[in-house]
Amino acid sequence: MWNFIQNQVLGMKWLNSLVGDLLFSFGVDIESRLGGSLQFFIYDVLKITILLCFLIFMISYIQSYFPPERSRKILGRFNGIWANILGALLGTITPFCSCSSIPIFIGFTSAGLPLGVTFSFLISSPMVDLGSLVLLMSIFGSEIAILYVIFGLIIAVVGGSLISKFKMEDQVEDFVKNANFMESDNISLSVLDRVSFAKEQVLETFKKVFPYIILGVGIGALIHNWIPEVWVEKVLGSNNPFGVIIATFIGIPMYADIFGTIPIAEALLLKGAQLGTVLSFMMSVTTLSLPSIIMLKKAIKPKLLATFIGICSLGIIIVGYLFNYLSPYLI
């Protein structure tokens, strides 16, 4: 039953077969490079779009119960490591890319929440969310997906805790610390209001994310059918002990959310890249994208920014090597 759910419900293997049959009926040779790329592209775009819209709707409905003011009040009740854990968990129900998470991070910081807690949120929000868990399960399987989320949360909690220990509150720009945080009444929404909110979030998120899905799947199709396997194995395979580090730093200048990164990771894995190397690439793209670093630089000072990048990079590299060690037991 679980194999059926993973392969046919989450993985939508039936959709892949349907796309292949339709292309064949139109005279496309799906065994050729061009035909195989076309099948990969259409199938992955449809699958990710369907899952994305469904998941964003469900996550946004849940999120309607946790507006920023309520989230701030909940986080304010906890101290120490538990506050960091809660901040990281809160990030999992916010389906945002790294750039979209920064305004919420600024709002939480302006409201007086501990800096380490807000950084735990900032790390976990783009790196792991409920949507990414389901999409990862559809491609890599449940064990890898669950471990990815657990390790991502550990990076977020440890990263936020270290920033708390370093006492770097003076590294936040004055306009963030002095901003007025406006309280608003907690309006009780009806079920229809929440459904309407969820629909709006689906449309808004889809418009932002879809170009990156197209780009990510396009790159994945190119890797899957046109780039020689030996190239990928040489750079990101087991024979290169620096593959994790290379993948991490390749991912930083890129900008995409996890929905656009998964197809690239899938294609790299099929071409012979190591599991941990691929997952490190995903984590760095989603958490340390160059546009988000530029945005964050306006809110925090260079010392704190460098600390944030260093902690995240080191955590991602450690997780990558750990996944590579565990991959024989997971694949």
Q: Within a domain: residue 133?
A: yes
Rounded distance between C-alpha atoms, residue 211 and residue 44, angstroms: 14
Domain count along the chain: 1
- Facing residues of 41 across strands? none
Structural domain contains residue 183: no
pLDDT > 90: percent of the chain: 17
Distance CA 125, CA 322 (A): 22
pLDDT band at 269 (very low <50, low <70, confident <90, very high): confident
Whether residue 110 is contained in a domain is answered as yes
**Using one digit for the tens of pLDDT, what is the confidence trace for 88-111?**
888 777 655 555 667 777 777 777
Nearest to 43 by CA among 208, 220, 228: 220
Judge whether residue 323 has pLDDT over 90. Answer: yes
Average pLDDT over residues 68-79: 71
Tens-digit pLDDT profile for residues 173-205: 887 766 554 444 445 778 888 899 889 878 887
Query: Exposed, middle or buried by CB within 10 Å (0-12, 13-18, 19+), for 88?
Result: buried
Q: Is residue 53 part of a domain?
A: yes
Q: Which tens digits make up the pLDDT trace of 128-167?
A: 867 667 778 877 888 888 898 899 999 999 999 999 999 8
Question: Domain range for residue 229?
Answer: 2-178+209-330
pLDDT of residue 185: 44
Q: Residue 305: pLDDT above 60?
A: yes
* Within a domain: 246: yes
Indicate whether 325 pLDDT > 80.
yes
**Tokens standing for residue 97:** 């890319």
State mean pLDDT over 19-43.
89
Residue 237 lies in a domain: yes
Over residues 24-28, mean pLDDT: 91
Mean pLDDT, rounded, of the chain:
81
**Residue 87 forms part of a structural domain:** yes
Place of tokens 């340390």: 288
With respect to residue 315, please indicate whether it lies within any of the assigned structural domains: yes
For residues 24 and 30, the answer to whether their CB atoms sit within 8 Å is yes
- So what's the pLDDT on residue 245? 92
Query: Could you tell me which of 320, 1, 282, 4 has the C-alpha nearest to residue 126?
Result: 282
Q: What is the mean pLDDT of residues 234-246?
A: 83
To 10 degrees, the CA torsion angle through 49, 50, 51, 55?
Answer: 100
